[in-house]
């Protein structure tokens, strides 16, 4: 799916830009019946029609699959498409949550271009999905003649257990731990390495790593911090008309003692 962009938008060239990312056509409201096989869902449209559609999120979507929930779908035509409807948003915890995992990379690039993520908006060039590490691809590669090349890994976040607190991951992710290790490798090689968590919901004002659901990822996260990886959490403004970056939020850090412990273990 392609976004509509504000007419004032230009290609990313290091200058601050003004964009509004909107869905290209009005989303279709519906009621969720079930989400299954990771990539499929059944729903009832407002006119009573029952449909099966594609769910662009292979994760657990913990807390975001309650039958009867109000959802919004994008609609697509085309002879090559097996399913006409795509699951985009769901109403949960009295807010609107984005579930499409194709969105965070675009949202991240938008936030960086708008100067919302540290000084990353000052870079003049951005490349997407570049090969690096051990058979991996970095989401965003930022370059500039006057700056250190920066590797940016983006993760989608939509899990919340405590009001206002976003958490990642919502299930074990060996792939996510691998990405943290590879970012650490880049940092130790002299590059900048950034992990950016994009929170596709309106109601979160803090972020933390969910160590109880994936202690291996939590350990990899602490190790990455100790190796020099920068970490940011980006809040989004989500509605049935747009998903837009809304600035950084605080991260609950592991603390100095934990970082020192990992630094000692690395040096040892």
Q: What pLDDT digit, counting tens, does each position of 161-213 carry?
A: 999 999 999 999 999 999 999 999 999 999 999 999 999 999 999 999 999 99
Q: What is the pTM of this model?
A: 0.87
Distance, CA of 263 to CA of 260 (rounded, Å) = 5
Torsion of CA 216, 218, 221, 226, to 10 degrees: -100
Tokens representing residue 2 in the block: 């392609």
Q: What pLDDT digit, counting tens, does each position of 22-40 carry?
A: 788 899 999 999 999 999 9
Q: 28-92 belongs to which CATH class? A: mainly beta
Element housing 30 (H / E): strand 28-36
Say if CB 224 and CB 195 are below 8 A apart: yes
Q: What pLDDT digit, counting tens, does each position of 130-162 carry?
A: 999 888 899 999 999 999 999 999 999 999 999
Ranges of each domain in the chain: 28-92, 103-267
Q: What pLDDT digit, counting tens, does each position of 70-89 carry?
A: 999 999 887 577 899 999 99
Distance, CA of 209 to CA of 217 (rounded, Å) = 8
* CATH topology for the 103-267 domain: Trna Endonuclease; Chain: A, domain 1 (3.40.1350)
Strands 50-54 and 40-45: antiparallel
pLDDT score of 264 more than 90: no
Q: What pLDDT digit, counting tens, does each position of 94-109 carry?
A: 999 999 999 999 999 9
């Amino acid at each position: 799916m392609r976004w509509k962009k504000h007419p004032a938008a230009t290609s990313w060239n290091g200058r601050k830009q003004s964009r509004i990312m909107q869905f290209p056509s009005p989303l279709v409201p519906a009621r969720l019946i079930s989400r299954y096989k990771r990539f499929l869902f059944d729903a009832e449209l407002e006119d009573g029609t029952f449909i099966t559609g594609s769910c662009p999120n292979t994760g657990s979507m913990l807390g975001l699959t309650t039958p009867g929930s109000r959802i919004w779908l994008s609609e697509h035509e085309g002879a090559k498409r097996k399913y006409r409807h795509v699951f985009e948003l769901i109403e949960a915890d009295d807010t609107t949550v984005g579930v499409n995992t194709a969105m965070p990379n675009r949202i991240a690039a938008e936030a960086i271009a708008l100067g919302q993520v540290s000084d990353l908006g000052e870079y003049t060039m951005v490349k997407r999905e570049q090969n690096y590490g051990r058979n991996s691809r970095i989401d965003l590669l930022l370059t500039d003649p006057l700056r250190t090349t920066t590797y940016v890994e983006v993760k989608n976040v939509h899990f919340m257990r405590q009001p206002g607190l976003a958490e990642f991951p919502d299930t074990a992710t060996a792939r996510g731990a691998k990405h943290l290790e590879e970012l650490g490798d880049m940092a130790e090689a002299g590059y900048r390495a950034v992990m950016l968590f994009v929170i596709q919901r309106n109601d979160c004002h803090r972020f933390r790593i969910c160590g109880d659901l994936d202690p291996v990822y939590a350990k990899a996260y602490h190790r990455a911090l100790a190796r020099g990886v920068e970490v940011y959490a980006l809040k989004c403004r989500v509605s049935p008309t747009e998903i837009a970056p809304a600035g950084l939020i605080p991260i609950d850090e592991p603390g100095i003692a934990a970082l020192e412990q990992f630094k000692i273990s690395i040096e040892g």
